[in-house]
Amino acid sequence: MKTRLMLTVTAAAGLLTMLGVMAYATPAFAHHSFAATYFEDKTTKIEGDLVQFLFRNPHSFVHVEGKDEQGNTVRYAVEWGAGLQLSRQGVTRETLKPGDHVIITGNPGRNPEDHRLRMKSVQRPSDGWSWGGNFD
Amino acid 133: pLDDT: 77
pLDDT at 108 over 50: yes
CA–CA gap between residue 82 and residue 123 (Å, rounded): 19
Exposure string for 89-101, b = 16+ CB within 10 A, e = fewer? eebeeebbeeebe
Amino acid 26: pLDDT: 33
Q: Parse the chain into domains and list their residue ranges.
A: 34-131
CA–CA gap between residue 18 and residue 24 (Å, rounded): 10
Q: What confidence tens digit (pLDDT) does each residue in 6-43 have? A: 556 555 555 444 434 333 333 333 455 677 789 899 99
pLDDT at 112 over 50: yes
Amino acid 132: pLDDT: 94
Amino acid 9: pLDDT: 53
CATH no. for 34-131: 2.40.50.140
pLDDT band at 104 (very low <50, low <70, confident <90, very high): very high
Amino acid 37: pLDDT: 81
CA–CA gap between residue 27 and residue 41 (Å, rounded): 31
Amino acid 7: pLDDT: 52
Query: Alpha carbon 22 to chain centroid distance?
Result: 29
CA–CA gap between residue 56 and residue 37 (Å, rounded): 19
Q: What confidence tens digit (pLDDT) does each residue in 51-103 have? A: 999 999 999 999 999 998 899 999 999 999 999 999 999 999 999 999 999 99
